[in-house]
Amino acid sequence: MSQRSCLSVILAAGEGTRMKSAMPKVLHAIAGLPMVAHVVKAAEAAGATGLALVIGHGADEMRKAAQKFAPKADTFVQEKRLGTAHAVLAAREAISKGYDDILVMFGDTPLIDAQALAAARQKLAEGAAVAVIGFRPPNPAGYGRLIEKGGRLVAIREEKDCSDEEKKIGFCNAGMMAVAGKHALRLLDKVGNKNAKGEFYLTDIVEIASAEGLDVVATEASFENALGINNRAELAEAEAIWQARRRREAMLSGVTLIAPETVYFSHDTEIGADTIVEPNVWFGPGVRIASGAKIHAFSHIEGATIASNCDVGPFARLRPGADLRHKAKVGNFCEVKQATIEEGAKVNHLTYIGDARVGAAANIGAGTITCNYDGYSKFFTDIGEGAFVGSNSALVAPVSIGKGGYIGSGSVITESVPDDALAFGRARQKTIPGKGKELRERFASAAAARKKAAAE
Ligand code: UD1
Ligand code: CA
């Protein structure tokens, strides 16, 4: 099948008013990726070499977004929303390039999987002119019904045009279909709009092809494949299904999720075997985790690279550019941004490390802050291998601490510290014998005097 060329025509011209959003519906994200980008990914995984995106509402925004998730796609504007067949024909120019297979997909049906598409394409390879993806929803109301006669698909009837008898059919149209390229334009051009909604229905090509004596078939896919998103409740439902699939995939590939239903992945999260993820962990986009890491509860991680055997959290926040090397440790209430934590280094408690390097085996005490920003620009802090930074230190960047450098607790470090040096940047301690008691007596009598004055 791989030698057959394939164009995916993705319909995304619907207004999506029920999303109640200023943003086009299909740009709403699932796992951090616009739903239409999930559709593009599935098309590509099923072997689509060409992509045609049919847009309408919010065309400029759509084109701009498409540059990111489908830079090779051609976009076509469907000026008037006259039905799914009309929408496919907006991409006439792309279709007429002569692809073997045309895969029609919906931009608002993001959970379609590549296997379902590939199965439909396989039918074309075996000689079918049209292969419709069917499914059996728990409640068929609202879907087009697949009308079969003698084991052959002869028509798809939209709910509004169905007879009472036809409404009883449980096998429904998921919406997506594969059409042989050599027949596509001829069939689509024959579609009329004499139906209950007065629209040009893509589904009518089934009856047209069947009447021409062409081979028309239906494949069957699971319910999720057909889940169309119309409002934010359905968006959340799709997100939940996506997350459930991804968690399962992670676990089957050797990742332990102690409470899988509380761990959230992004579309691009990479996570190695023997990593353990505790409950309530969020992975934003751009996270790569090698094997054998431990991600403790309540950590929030995005744009971070975590090498093998690292220990993160609980309650850690890793922001973009955090790069943890083998066996590094970032503990509770620490934030790391645009910084490398080299092998075996420890950033254990209540610390902010931003725009920095923490050398191998260095130890960063509780409450350390890299002061990376002066309100205008960001500056770098370099902490050498094996350095020790005492608790509650402020490292005012740009600054560096040499290899093996030792910083006294509570320091404000504004000048670089050479290798193996000890640096303090704080007031010296003064101890006055008996003064504590004297102070307490003075404060107590002042308070008593105030109370007496108030009572008079
Ligand atoms: C469609 C199918 C129906 C199927 C159902 C599955 C047709 C005629 N009907 O119905 O058999 O059971 O999907 O969910 O195909 N679009 C455009 N331009 C248009 C019209 C639609 O771009 O002029 C896009 C929409 O944005 C959407 C997709 O095509 O992404 C499907 O259109 P929609 O109106 O939702 O079709 P359904 O009524 O759901
Ligand atoms: Ca729909």
Q: Is residue 2 very low, low, confident or very high in pLDDT (cuts 50, 70, 90)? A: low
Question: What are the phi and psi torsion angles at 180 (to 5°)?
Answer: -65, 130
Find the 411 Cα to ligand 1 centroid distance in Å.
Answer: 65
Q: Does the domain spanning 232-423 belong to CATH 2.160.10.10?
A: yes
Residues with CB under 5 A from ligand 2 (ion): 228
C-alpha span between 94 and 185 (Å, rounded): 11
- Looking at the chain, the whole-number percentage of residues with pLDDT higher than 70 is 100
Question: What is the topology classification, in CATH, of domain 6-220?
Answer: Spore Coat Polysaccharide Biosynthesis Protein SpsA; Chain A (3.90.550)
- For residue 395, what are the β-bridge partners? 370, 413
> Which residues surround ligand 1 with Cβ inside 6 Å?
11-14, 54, 78, 81-84, 86-87, 106-108, 143-144, 156, 158, 172-175, 201-203, 226, 228
pLDDT score, position 225 = 94
Ligand 1 atom nearest residue 106's Cα: 30
pLDDT at position 288 over 80: yes
Ligand 1 atom nearest residue 54's Cα: 22
pLDDT score, position 152 = 87
Q: Look at residues 383, 316, 381 and name the one whose alpha carbon lies nearest to residue 345.
A: 383
Ranges of each domain in the chain:
6-220, 232-423
Whether 449 contacts 405, CB under 8 Å: no
pLDDT at position 253 over 70: yes
**How far, CA to CA in Å, does 78 sit from each of 10, 188, 266?**
12, 15, 32
pLDDT at position 97 over 60: yes
Find the 243 Cα to ligand 2 centroid distance in Å.
Answer: 22
Whether 221 contacts 203, CB under 8 Å: no
Ligand sitting nearest the alpha carbon of 225: 1
C-alpha span between 37 and 43 (Å, rounded): 10
pLDDT at position 1 over 80: no
pLDDT score, position 3 = 87
pLDDT at position 211 over 80: yes
Q: Is residue 150 very low, low, confident or very high in pLDDT (cuts 50, 70, 90)? A: confident
Q: Average model confidence (pLDDT) for the chain?
A: 97
Q: Is 349 a residue of the active site?
A: yes
Ligand 1 pocket test: pick from 26, 77, 84 the residue with the most ligand atoms within 8 Å of its Cβ: 84
- The string of pLDDT tens digits covering residues 133-148 is 999 999 999 999 999 9
Residue closest by Cα to atom 13 of ligand 1: 175
* Widest distance between CA atoms in the chain: 108
- The string of pLDDT tens digits covering residues 330-357 is 999 999 999 999 999 999 999 999 999 9
- B/e letters for 207-222, b = 16+ CB within 10 Å, e = fewer, are bbbbeeebbbbbbebe
Q: What is the DSSP letter of 225?
A: G
